[in-house]
Amino acid sequence: MKLVMAVVQDKDSNRLQSALVKSGFKATKLASTGGFLKSGNTTFIIGVDDEKKNELLTVIKKNCQSRDQIITPVSPMGGSTDAYIPQPVEVEVGGATVFILEVAEFKQY
Protein backbone atom coordinates (compact mmCIF):
# COMPACT_ATOMS: atom_id res chain seq x y z
CA MET A 1 0.00 0.00 0.00
CA LYS A 2 1.11 3.58 -0.62
CA LEU A 3 0.15 6.81 1.15
CA VAL A 4 -0.25 9.59 -1.40
CA MET A 5 -0.04 13.17 -0.08
CA ALA A 6 -1.19 15.62 -2.76
CA VAL A 7 -1.09 19.41 -2.30
CA VAL A 8 -3.62 20.97 -4.66
CA GLN A 9 -5.15 24.43 -5.21
CA ASP A 10 -8.37 25.16 -3.30
CA LYS A 11 -10.08 25.83 -6.66
CA ASP A 12 -9.62 22.16 -7.67
CA SER A 13 -10.30 20.59 -4.28
CA ASN A 14 -14.05 19.86 -4.66
CA ARG A 15 -13.66 18.63 -8.23
CA LEU A 16 -10.87 16.26 -7.20
CA GLN A 17 -12.84 15.03 -4.17
CA SER A 18 -15.87 14.10 -6.35
CA ALA A 19 -13.64 12.47 -8.96
CA LEU A 20 -11.98 10.36 -6.23
CA VAL A 21 -15.34 9.19 -4.86
CA LYS A 22 -16.56 8.37 -8.35
CA SER A 23 -13.45 6.27 -9.07
CA GLY A 24 -13.76 4.49 -5.69
CA PHE A 25 -10.72 6.06 -3.97
CA LYS A 26 -11.01 6.88 -0.26
CA ALA A 27 -9.39 10.09 0.94
CA THR A 28 -8.99 12.55 3.83
CA LYS A 29 -8.62 16.30 3.29
CA LEU A 30 -6.55 18.77 5.33
CA ALA A 31 -6.71 22.57 5.01
CA SER A 32 -3.16 23.84 4.40
CA THR A 33 -1.18 26.96 3.44
CA GLY A 34 1.50 27.44 0.78
CA GLY A 35 4.94 28.32 2.14
CA PHE A 36 5.63 30.92 -0.55
CA LEU A 37 2.32 32.56 -1.53
CA LYS A 38 0.93 32.04 2.00
CA SER A 39 -2.52 31.49 0.53
CA GLY A 40 -4.79 28.56 1.37
CA ASN A 41 -4.49 25.25 -0.48
CA THR A 42 -5.62 21.66 0.25
CA THR A 43 -3.58 18.58 1.20
CA PHE A 44 -5.21 15.23 0.36
CA ILE A 45 -4.10 12.05 2.18
CA ILE A 46 -5.01 8.95 0.14
CA GLY A 47 -4.15 5.36 1.08
CA VAL A 48 -4.14 3.25 -2.10
CA ASP A 49 -3.30 -0.34 -3.04
CA ASP A 50 -0.08 -0.56 -5.06
CA GLU A 51 -1.81 -1.78 -8.24
CA LYS A 52 -4.24 1.20 -8.21
CA LYS A 53 -1.57 3.91 -7.68
CA ASN A 54 -1.18 4.84 -11.38
CA GLU A 55 -4.95 5.09 -11.85
CA LEU A 56 -5.07 7.44 -8.82
CA LEU A 57 -2.28 9.64 -10.23
CA THR A 58 -4.24 9.95 -13.49
CA VAL A 59 -7.35 11.10 -11.57
CA ILE A 60 -5.25 13.73 -9.74
CA LYS A 61 -3.58 14.92 -12.97
CA LYS A 62 -6.91 15.22 -14.83
CA ASN A 63 -8.66 17.21 -12.07
CA CYS A 64 -5.95 19.66 -11.00
CA GLN A 65 -4.65 22.37 -13.26
CA SER A 66 -1.82 24.86 -13.01
CA ARG A 67 -2.70 28.57 -12.94
CA ASP A 68 -0.83 31.83 -13.09
CA GLN A 69 -1.17 34.02 -10.05
CA ILE A 70 -0.22 37.68 -9.89
CA ILE A 71 1.46 38.64 -6.63
CA THR A 72 2.86 41.93 -5.46
CA PRO A 73 5.84 41.16 -3.27
CA VAL A 74 5.78 43.26 -0.10
CA SER A 75 9.55 43.62 -0.10
CA PRO A 76 12.08 42.78 -2.79
CA MET A 77 12.78 39.06 -3.16
CA GLY A 78 16.42 40.00 -2.74
CA GLY A 79 18.56 43.18 -2.78
CA SER A 80 18.14 46.70 -1.37
CA THR A 81 14.89 48.38 -0.18
CA ASP A 82 15.56 52.09 -0.92
CA ALA A 83 12.77 53.72 -2.98
CA TYR A 84 11.38 50.25 -3.71
CA ILE A 85 8.14 50.44 -5.74
CA PRO A 86 6.50 46.98 -5.59
CA GLN A 87 5.98 45.63 -9.14
CA PRO A 88 3.41 42.85 -9.66
CA VAL A 89 5.07 39.50 -10.47
CA GLU A 90 3.45 36.51 -12.19
CA VAL A 91 3.97 33.15 -10.47
CA GLU A 92 2.86 29.85 -11.99
CA VAL A 93 1.26 27.60 -9.35
CA GLY A 94 1.23 23.93 -10.36
CA GLY A 95 -1.89 21.79 -10.31
CA ALA A 96 -0.65 19.21 -7.79
CA THR A 97 2.50 18.48 -5.80
CA VAL A 98 2.43 14.76 -4.96
CA PHE A 99 4.52 12.78 -2.44
CA ILE A 100 4.17 8.99 -2.48
CA LEU A 101 5.20 7.16 0.71
CA GLU A 102 5.45 3.43 1.47
CA VAL A 103 2.90 2.20 4.06
CA ALA A 104 4.53 -0.37 6.40
CA GLU A 105 1.17 -1.45 7.89
CA PHE A 106 -2.53 -0.55 7.46
CA LYS A 107 -5.25 -1.15 10.09
CA GLN A 108 -8.95 -0.32 10.36
CA TYR A 109 -10.89 -0.65 13.62
Ligand X SMILES: Nc1ncnc2c1ncn2[C@@H]1O[C@@H]2COP(=O)(O)O[C@H]3[C@@H](O)[C@H](n4cnc5c(N)ncnc54)O[C@@H]3COP(=O)(O)O[C@H]2[C@H]1O
Establish if 31 lies at the interface with its own copies (CB under 8 A). yes
Which of the listed partners (ligand X, its own copies, none) does 93 bind, with a CB threshold of 5 to 8 Å by partner kind?
ligand X
Q: Of 21, 30, 31, 101, which lies in the binding site for ligand X, with binding defined by CB under 6 A?
A: 21
Q: Which residues touch 50 (CB under 8 Å, ≥6 apart)?
A: 1, 2
Give the separation between CA 44 and CA 47, rounded to whole angstroms: 10
Stretch that binds ligand X, among 10-18, 52-60, 79-87, 88-96 (CB under 6 A): 88-96
Dihedral of CA atoms 68, 18, 3, 31 in degrees, nearest 10, equals 60
Point out which residues bind ligand X (CB under 6 A).
7, 21, 24, 26-28, 34-37, 41, 45-47, 91-94, 97
